[in-house]
Amino acid sequence: MSGHDSKYFSTTKKGEIPELKEELNSQYKDKRKDAVKKVIAAMTVGKDVSSLFTDVLNCMQTENLELKKLVYLYLINYAKSQPDLAILAVNTFVKDTQDPNPLIRALAVRTMGCIRVDKITEYLCDPLERCLKDDDPYVRKTAAICVAKLYDINAELVEDRGFLDALKDLISDNNPMVVANAVAALAEIQDNSSKPIFEITSNTLTKLLTALNECTEWGQVFILDALSKYKAADAREAENIVERVTPRLQHANSAVVLSAVKMILQQMELITSPDVIRNLCKKMAPPLVTLLSAEPEIQYVALRNINLIVQRRPTILAHEIKVFFCKYNDPIYVKMEKLEIMIKLASDRNIDQVLLEFKEYATEVDVDFVRKAVRAIGRCAIKLERAAERCISVLLELIKIKVNYVVQEAIIVIKDIFRRYPNTYESIIATLCESLDTLDEPEAKASMIWIIGEYAERIDNADELLESFLETFPEEPAQVQLQLLTATVKLFLKKPTEGPQQMIQVVLNNATVETDNPDLRDRAYIYWRLLSTDPEAAKDVVLAEKPVISDDSNQYDSSLLDELLANIATVSSVYHKPPETFITRVKTVQTTEEEYPDGIEGGYTETSSTLVADTGASPLPSSTTDAAAKQPVPAPVPDLLDLMGLDGGDDNAVSADHSMAAGPPLPVLLAAASGQGLEISGQMVRKDGQIFYSLIFENNANIPLDGFMIQFNKNTFGLAAGGPLQVPQIQPGTSARTLLPMVLFQNIAPGPPNSLLQIAVKNSQQPVWYFNDRLSLLVLFTEDGRMERSTFLETWKSLPDSNEVSKDIPSIVINNVEATIEQLGSSNMFFIAKRKNGNQEVLYLSAKLPKGIPFLIEITATIGVPGLKCAIKSPSPEMGPLFFEALETFLRG
């Protein structure tokens, strides 16, 4: 819109919709155009103007390109909620795809592709076929992208109409932008398909390399990304490809540069000539350095990618370490990344420069940055043996500054240096001991205590130093207590005199009697038994030679690094995580719009699991457009049912007999009296790590029932059907049982959590039946919820008290602790520890919800006496009421 169009967003008078309706039907073109602009303005700020659908639609028949664009924009937004009326626009679309003006032809096919309504899809095919062969390249490139959109709606239709072959033909187009869009569309389709669709051959390769020189910058990105997946036949071909791509390194667009780097790195794996590799490394350095003169946000993305590149090819930037020195006005996130890369590039040749920089950073005002700089000095010492002494000298200089957090961080890294170079730099221990009184951070205290214990025989007053920590032993964090226990045992074994003997008694008593920490208590008991039965064995265990630690600056293993490098210039390379760890694609089963039960919320959604038909309806596959990994597809229902011993006798694997002997009875959700003779029973169950809806359909009507479909309304956990509802025809007086696989986080309801599930079921003979069910939170607990005791304790302490909720559950009686632990374990609540509190038993258990949300559970009860108290601590305490409700039902059951 132009600058003076802001008036359309101004507050309107009373009766806005009727006034707009009147203006949209005006005989004056300008008035209609202004009215459509007002409608778009209202739509933009979130007002519902869907009631004007027919009136806006009437404005489509115009020669005015601006007005046509506005109407098309409105259609894209509201066609989903008005699918029947959207059909009225089809004739205009088809007519516009034959307009003499190529802009209008392209606009029409683009809009039809954006309207995600199945009814319109069939009308789109003929115009799309024409536009793919249009004389104008602008129309062809728009049609290419439209094929990808159509594939997302109806993959089967795209394959049947030969659109994939048409896309592949466009790769040979004489217009480079058409080629780029065809590549982009095919790559998108390939991401959403499990079968090979887009494979680059040597013939295709030549065409793509030719188009690369002439298309726009984003077209170049699409082509380069596609080329990076091509594996050259031999080193000569790889060299030729790299030679054609190398000029892209000089491009002004950072995305093109990074895509070119990615492609070159992939092909370099096949190049054998050291001279060629050396020259390529030299050529890649300047463009990567240039990226660091851009805006901070682009710098950060470039640095995250460079971090990966230097792990595989450190020689590329080995001589450019100065460009990673931090500037005073760099944002903190840029500084942190530069530090990481400087550690990776540090070598014996440049270590003096690097240490001067790190020392300078250690006097900055940002505490986190200072800590990272001090730790970086230690990492350089561990990485470079020849430079270790210089690194330690710098650390000692920093300790003398007497800045508390610098001193503490220095002690932590010196402990690691001692581990890396045992019996080499112990002369500095006296200097470290001078700072003992200033330590207040757990990690620093633990490091200092480790040093004292490890070198107790060289420290004259080691017993006094440790004794100063023992005074506050009960209040110390678990990390410090564990180190104190081990250090005191080491001292006793190295100096078995009266002082250490008394200390060991105090520590062992504190660690076994006065503590709630199971890890500390177990370690103390082990030491106690070792010392009392075989002191020599205790020496062999506690004073055993420790493995030398290694440099961790190249922290990714080779296979993960390969995957991350293959995803350079994507979000994956910024997160330093494979795509499947943060993007989920669920391939759901779609039905046509006519099959939706009336009145149920949800309708057609791009990523939600929609109503799924039984196997006779030939549902169409659909997928989201997320560019990454696939969520594990639920196991096929037939196999699971066969494993459970359900006798279906056919591919549907559902039982359909009079006895219903295939499983236990289930709660009735829809009574026969309410369902015209159809009775539905069901319950959510968890089997083999997958959630299923166990359902029984009983036909008490006088006619056979078939064509069953099911849909779930929005709910707290986004539960939706993950596959077709497989129910055969049910004869009168018979019943059928089935397991419906479920998926999570598809159609999430806003608001506070609740366990309500609203469900709609229909069949070919009856109306839609609506009923409710309750989801037990325990069904969602995953199989990987077991925690180590130390992890449980640390997690409990790390969560604030506000994250703890509790409830008294009356009338529940626990008669046997072991049986209760086993019962809870069957629902993935894993036993951690138990203790006595007077005459009460206190159980600690862990569980985990999907998305890795931990649940720490404490159950307090008196054996044989009704009533128990349950408390949970979790990052999601709002789930507490659902858990208590589910636990009470479970224990009563």
> Can you give the pLDDT at residue 354?
92
pLDDT over threshold 50, residue 588: no
868-873 and 804-809 strand pairing: antiparallel
pLDDT over threshold 90, residue 338: yes
Average of pLDDT values for 587-597?
34
**Distance (Å, rounded) from C-alpha 885 to C-alpha 893?**
12
Average of pLDDT values for 169-178?
89
pLDDT over threshold 50, residue 642: no
> Can you give the pLDDT at residue 70?
86
**Where on the phi/psi map is residue 677: left (φ > 0), alpha (ψ -120 to 50), or beta?**
left
**Distance (Å, rounded) from C-alpha 249 to C-alpha 260?**
6
pLDDT over threshold 60, residue 238: yes
Mean per-residue pLDDT over the chain, rounded: 82
pLDDT over threshold 70, residue 727: yes
pLDDT-based confidence at 188, cuts 50/70/90?
A: confident
Out of 37-41, 44-48, 182-186, 822-826, least confident range: 44-48
Using a 10 angstrom Cβ sphere, with 0-12 exposed, 13-18 middle and 19 or more buried, the burial of residue 416 is: middle
Question: What confidence tens digit (pLDDT) does each residue in 859-891 have?
Answer: 999 888 888 899 999 988 888 888 988 888 888
What is the arrangement of strands in the sheet containing 853-861, beginning at the earlier edge strand? Answer: 804-809, 868-873, 853-861, 840-849, 830-837
Who contacts 282 (Cβ-Cβ below 8 Å, separation ≥6)?
none
> Can you give the pLDDT at residue 663?
61
Helix (H, G, I), strand (E, B) or coil at 1: coil
Q: Report residue 640 as tokens.
A: 């699971």
Residue 262 near residue 230 (C-beta atoms within 8 A) = no
Work out the end-to-end distance of the chain between its first and last CA atoms, rounded to an integer number of angstroms.
64
pLDDT-based confidence at 730, cuts 50/70/90?
A: very high
CA dihedral (802, 808, 813, 816) in degrees, to 10, reads 20
DSSP readout, 461-475? Answer: THHHHHHHHHTTGGG
> Can you give the pLDDT at residue 636?
35
**Distance (Å, rounded) from C-alpha 845 to C-alpha 374?**
39
Helix (H, G, I), strand (E, B) or coil at 523: helix
> Can you give the pLDDT at residue 632?
39
> Can you give the pLDDT at residue 661?
39
> Can you give the pLDDT at residue 260?
92
Who contacts 471 (Cβ-Cβ below 8 Å, separation ≥6)?
none
pLDDT over threshold 60, residue 622: no
> Can you give the pLDDT at residue 15?
55
Instruction: Say what the pTM is.
Output: 0.61
Q: Percent of the chain, pLDDT > 90?
A: 23
Helix axes 137-153 and 163-170, enclosed angle (nearest 10) = 140
pLDDT-based confidence at 6, cuts 50/70/90?
A: low
pLDDT-based confidence at 627, cuts 50/70/90?
A: very low
Neighbours of 880 (CB within 10 A): 22
DSSP category for residue 853:
E
> Computed over its alpha carbons, how large is the radius of gyration of the chain?
34
pLDDT over threshold 80, residue 608: no
Backbone angles phi and psi of 762, in degrees to 5: -135, 160
CA dihedral (798, 801, 802, 806) in degrees, to 10, reads 120
Backbone angles phi and psi of 692, in degrees to 5: -130, 155
For residues 659 and 463, which has the higher predicted lDDT (pLDDT)? 463
DSSP category for residue 597:
P
> Can you give the pLDDT at residue 3?
56
Question: What confidence tens digit (pLDDT) does each residue in 791-830 have?
Answer: 898 888 888 888 899 988 888 888 888 888 988 998 999 9
Question: What confidence tens digit (pLDDT) does each residue in 740-760 have?
Answer: 999 888 888 888 888 889 999
Backbone angles phi and psi of 304, in degrees to 5: -65, -40
**Distance (Å, rounded) from C-alpha 249 to C-alpha 569?**
14
Query: For the chain, what's the residue count?
Result: 893
> Can you give the pLDDT at residue 424?
83
Out of 430-434, 633-637, 661-665, least confident range: 633-637
Out of 85-99, 414-428, 430-444, least confident range: 85-99
> Can you give the pLDDT at residue 593?
33
Out of 64-73, 325-334, 385-394, least confident range: 64-73
**Distance (Å, rounded) from C-alpha 208 to C-alpha 200?**
9
Q: CA 772 → CA 599, 668, 697, 768, distances in Å? A: 15, 10, 16, 14
pLDDT over threshold 80, residue 691: yes
Backbone angles phi and psi of 707, in degrees to 5: 65, 40
pLDDT over threshold 90, residue 59: no
Who contacts 324 (Cβ-Cβ below 8 Å, separation ≥6)?
292, 338, 341, 342, 345
Q: CA 399 → CA 190, 451, 565, 715, distances in Å? A: 57, 16, 40, 57
**Distance (Å, rounded) from C-alpha 488 to C-alpha 468?**
12
**Distance (Å, rounded) from C-alpha 852 to C-alpha 831?**
18
> Can you give the pLDDT at residue 592?
35
Backbone angles phi and psi of 593, in degrees to 5: -60, -30
**Distance (Å, rounded) from C-alpha 679 to C-alpha 693?**
16
853-861 and 840-849 strand pairing: antiparallel
pLDDT over threshold 70, residue 646: no
Alpha-helical segments (H) within 742-788: none
pLDDT over threshold 50, residue 617: no
Average of pLDDT values for 631-637?
36
> Can you give the pLDDT at residue 456?
86
